[in-house]
């Protein structure tokens, strides 16, 4: 099996790596449930949590995972402002410094968890780093650890990662999560995908050609109500206001936002199929793509999904660290 060192894109998560990590995550989940808090996998290790872009779940779950495993965490939640980036330093210089590229034993961290607004940031960082880089979200492009925690969630909900139908709903153009999830799931047989997006925010052509090449069955639609009865999972994402430059695109979403939301009607329509509703969060309070009246219903799983971030990220950190030694 290939060895996971840097994790920058979901394509690296082959089915054997996914199976291995999900098994480890399940083990961590069970131990956490049994009350274990003092894992030793990363004892003596320093994790640098370097976030150039906002985060709640990803940063906290990574930091909690690291601390539970016995690591020390250093970092900043606003690297754009509180690191030397504010003084004009390049990402490459920061990464070289933190990773100890000049003299390894003088580096500041053993693993770097990086979130950055630019699409190629994680790859650029990996090129100059002398310690593993874990991509915690790069621009609108990739979010591989979210894809892994989503895979863990689907496995828990459906008992499998093959032969099921998933609909991705919302702003699919700027969602790095949808991109990474689709890459990961494209490897499994019998996964059918629906993509439901407003005009102008459809999935990117590169993803479409990738899926066609991999012979994944997929269809595009413009209303969640047209696909929900056929979907085992409806995966809803917010409209990425922080990335959309063209206000027309946002208006196109807002004009038809009921078509991209889990409403009571949609929930009821999916009763017979037993569709589960997932969302990487945050839910946009203004757009309410998961309506408040359904968010606590049993088939809406987003809070549970976010919780799986802890054992899944424990599995990633433990594996990557172990791989630095063999
Ligand atoms: C997502 C992200 O940051 O890409 N959130 C997350 O990591 N759970 C989704 C989003 O911002 O919409």
Q: Distance (Å, rounded) from C-alpha 108 to C-alpha 84? A: 15
Is 3 domain-assigned? no
Shared domain for 39 and 84, answered yes or no, is yes
Residue 234's SS3 state is strand
Which residue's CA is the nearest one to ligand 1's atom 6? 280
Domain extent, residue 210, equals 144-303
Sign of the Cα torsion 26, 29, 30, 36 reads positive
Shared domain for 153 and 247, answered yes or no, is yes
pLDDT in tens, 243-269: 999 999 999 899 999 999 999 999 999
Shared domain for 151 and 138, answered yes or no, is no
Shared domain for 97 and 226, answered yes or no, is no
Which phi-psi region, left, alpha or beta, contains residue 159 (left: φ > 0; alpha: ψ -120 to 50)? left
Determine if ligand 1 sits within 6 Å of the CB of residue 257.
no
Determine if ligand 1 sits within 6 Å of the CB of residue 243.
no
Q: Determine the pLDDT at residue 76.
A: 87
Q: How many domains does the chain have?
A: 2
Q: What is the pTM of this model?
A: 0.97
Question: Of the residues 33, 37, 87, 103, which is catalytic?
Answer: 87
pLDDT in tens, 193-249: 999 999 999 999 999 999 999 999 999 999 999 999 999 999 999 999 999 999 999
214 included as an active-site residue? no
Q: How far is CA 300 from CA 156, 162, 239, in A?
A: 14, 21, 19
Nearest-CA neighbor of 148 among 3, 324, 14? 14
59 included as an active-site residue? no
């Amino acid at each position: 099996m290939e060895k996971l060192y840097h994790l920058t894109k979901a394509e690296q998560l082959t089915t054997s790596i996914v199976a291995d990590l999900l098994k480890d995550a399940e083990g961590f989940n069970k131990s956490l449930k049994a009350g274990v808090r003092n894992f030793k996998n990363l004892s003596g290790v320093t994790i640098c949590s370097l976030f150039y872009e906002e985060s709640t779940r990803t940063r906290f779950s990574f930091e909690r995972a690291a601390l539970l495993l016995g690591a020390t965490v250093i970092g900043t939640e606003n690297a754009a402002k509180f690191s030397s980036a504010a003084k004009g330093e390049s990402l490459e210089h920061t990464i070289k410094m933190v990773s100890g590229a000049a003299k390894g034993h003088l580096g500041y961290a053993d693993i770097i968890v990086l979130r950055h607004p630019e699409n190629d940031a994680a790859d650029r960082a990996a090129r100059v780093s002398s310690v593993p880089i874990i991509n915690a979200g790069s621009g609108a492009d990739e979010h591989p650890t979210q894809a892994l925690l989503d895979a863990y969630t689907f496995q828990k909900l459906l008992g499998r990662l093959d032969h099921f139908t998933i609909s991705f709903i919302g702003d699919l153009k700027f969602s790095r999560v949808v991109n990474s999830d689709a890459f990961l799931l494209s490897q499994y047989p019998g996964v059918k995908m629906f993509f439901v997006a407003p005009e102008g925010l459809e999935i990117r052509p590169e993803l479409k050609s990738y899926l066609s090449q991999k012979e994944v069955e997929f269809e595009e639609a413009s209303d969640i109500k047209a696909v929900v009865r056929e979907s085992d999972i409806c995966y809803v994402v917010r409209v990425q206001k922080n990335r959309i430059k063209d206000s027309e695109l946002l208006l196109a979403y807002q004009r038809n936002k009921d078509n991209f939301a889990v409403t009571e009607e949609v929930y009821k329509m999916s009763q017979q199929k037993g569709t589960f509703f997932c969302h990487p969060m945050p839910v946009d309070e203004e757009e309410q793509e998961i309506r408040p009246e359904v968010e606590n219903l049993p088939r809406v799983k987003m809070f549970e999904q976010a919780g799986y971030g802890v054992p899944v990220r424990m599995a990633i950190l433990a594996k990557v660290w172990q791989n630095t030694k063999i």
